[in-house]
Structure 1
Amino acid sequence: MATSRIPVPFSEPPWLMGLPSPYYNDSHRAWQKTCRALVDELLMPEAGDWERGGDVPENLYGKFAAANFLVPNLSAPLPVKWLKKSGIHELPGGLKVEDFDYLHTLIYVDEMARTGSLGPSGAITTGIAFGVPPILKFGSEALQERFLPDLLTGRKRICIAITEPGAGSDVSNIATTAVRSKDGKNFIVNGTKKWITNGLWSDYASMAVRTGGPGPSGLSMLVVPLLNTPGVSMRRIKVGGQTSAGTTFIELDDVQVPVSNLIGTEGQGMKYVMQNFNHERLTICVSVNRISRVALSSAFEYCLKREAFGKTLMEQPVVRHRLAKCGAELEAHWAWIENFVYMMTKLSTSDANAELGGLTALAKAQAGRVVELCANTAVLLYGGNGYTRSGQGELVERILREVPGARIPGGSEDVMLDLAIRQLVKNFQRKNRELDAQLERPGGSSKL
């Protein structure tokens, strides 16, 4: 990680390198300083040790909750009513919850990934970031009243449980069943969930289940109790990267879930899952771009001082060429992310889902390509040091192991590329039909 008093090239986004930006106001700049100070206090000193050991301290989540530093994981605008009912009126630094926008989200996610690993930050963020929104967006008032106060304050934890051994990006193939009991009071849930981040520590899961027949129309979402629940067994899955994030295999054997735990309308689960993915994919873009930045700037700094053949690596044209290619991809991707997030601050939720869903998938796919290029290049430039799990190259070696975790979760890369084009075609065709209808209407306007 860069240690120079002057920021090493590529070590920070341009707006934090002192360059002008049209996106950020005084509130965003103050929030960035607040986030950096808290991440420096709560994560940075020991994050490498935690990732190396494969776990985070039990009290880490509580420390974030005590600082009201869990709430920024939620997509903007924040659930102001529920936050204030839970006693949360401000975020750290005095930022009022009603003033929080998606650029504040971007800043938070970017700062949390500065450790150069998605493990320690993921141990804190993944569950609440993706498990709470389905309840917020689609749950009934009664369901929200039962769960949100404890989840928003960190007294309880939740995860998102979609993926199964036989259903990853193919969500419509989910096999976990939820069948109504004879008395109609409960769903009886049976099945397995795999690669569930934070599952080990979660009191609940926002879970995709099959309440009907085959295909997407048979899917629903339930709030399923996990910890200390009869019929639920969980074990850690050892993975190559993000080792401290609590990746979990969940088995469900006749688990009784009250019918009142249904999120939204039965049979609408596919819609809920797909809309939830947009926030997940955008935050993946931000965090993956930052760990790419950590890898590239670390290699940049190393090349300034490492000597070979009588000169520093930076004096070798081939080295500069490799760094340049990475820098171009990194900064182009970041500029795209900033533009995305700015659009999120201007569009309604429904318009953002319709217009940006496909492009978000494309940006997520590109994030995986960027981190693969930057991490591979960094390891190569570190030479033998980049192939070891200790010493000077430990950081970039670890980031290289994060690459599959960037390219697969949230929708694997090939699926994202295909989804992006299908949704762009769908939007194009819909707008053409709307235009044709306007032009054919007697006395109608040609405006959309």
Structure 2
Amino acid sequence: MALWTAAALLAAHPAHSGTYERDEVRDGSGDYAFAEDARTVDPADSTTGAERLRPGATYRSTLPAVGTSYFRMELDATSTTYVSTTAVPPGDSDVVTGDGIRVSVEDTAGRSCSSDTETIGAARSPHPIVAWGEREVAPTGSRCEGAGTYYVVVERVSTSSSAPDGWELELAVVTEPALTEPGASDAPKGWNSAPPQAVTGDAVRRAGGAGFSSATALGEGVWEDAIAPGQTLFYEVPVAWGTQLSATAELSGSGEPSRYTSGALDLTLHNPVRAPVEDASAGYSGRQTSATLQPLPPVEYANRHAVAERVSGMRFAGSYYLVAHLSAQVAERLGDGPFGLTLRVGIDGAARSAPEYAGEPVPGDVFTAVGSVGGWGDGSGASTADGADGAAGGAAGGDTAMTALAVGGIGTGSALLAWLAWWTARGRRDGADRRGTTPA
């Protein structure tokens, strides 16, 4: 892969300008930005007539208040397939902690390949939630093997006494090829699980996106935004093979302390196939508070063998997503806001080459870390790479210069790795300067 390919990849992940005024009141209705190229598919109430979902594509559909929705996939015998389902409750719907969705992948005999359930959680506020399914192909065998037809089954779970509203869905399918040689059969042990040291420095303003496809690219650094009650913001962080991500979300004081809202601020990490990895929440009474993700392991292929989701989810490089939600209940006690939001994002460790895959994933860049290097260095958000500001700076309208970072992707060439090794070394050195430590 040549250097120009990295620039092309960035063009597929455009940066938001990230500018806003503090007195700007942004929509807190919880509206989700579906992918512009999402294809509409109708849900089927049985496997008969289920519409096909193809790898690499994104789809938009609906989930009725009662009943189960079926979709179909035609899979080969060699690739592991992931399907994420983002459920979007209406912004004015009445939800409780236990309301959510269950996503399963089944074969034609009705045997379950995987199942995952996600609920609204402590926020008790309508916001996008993601459950995912997997058809795994493993050297030691799996419950669902062989080429053929598989079904994605989406159903509602609810603890509400009243019938819930219908929800919209966004579905995305990704395939991962097998390795050329069998890898480790156990998850890595001995990684640094100590709480990470908080990233410090001057904050750079960056307005979050309203969906996965419009997530705002962030690098390592301190980032400032504003969030309104009921609003969900999406950020995209490139994480390379062998590196370790950390993140904290801080909600500023409102100046008007009031009654405590439990689970008011929620921060969730999703991996490149949008599967939830880890989340953290914090209550809010108008006084400054924060939510910090538990320590996450370095990105390794073998992490998939771990039981804990926060370990098994860190199984490939690529764009990880930080999703922040502020409970709509905050407005009842502290007003409509918006409230100041600060994200502290850390990336530790040295980037490594990707494992040897026997083919290409679909879509082709899904396991390649692509994004901003603007968070590195002095925290100003400006890249110091020669000529880098010309790659995407025009799209930012004079804001922070953005450039492509493609680290350890499948099929990465030696020239790109050499260039990235220089950037990685600089990132570690500058990140250490920001923390006041000495790089290893």
Q: Normalising TM by the smaller chain, what interval?
A: under 0.3
TM-score (norm 1): 0.24
Q: Which has more strand, going by share of residues?
A: 2
Larger radius of gyration: 1
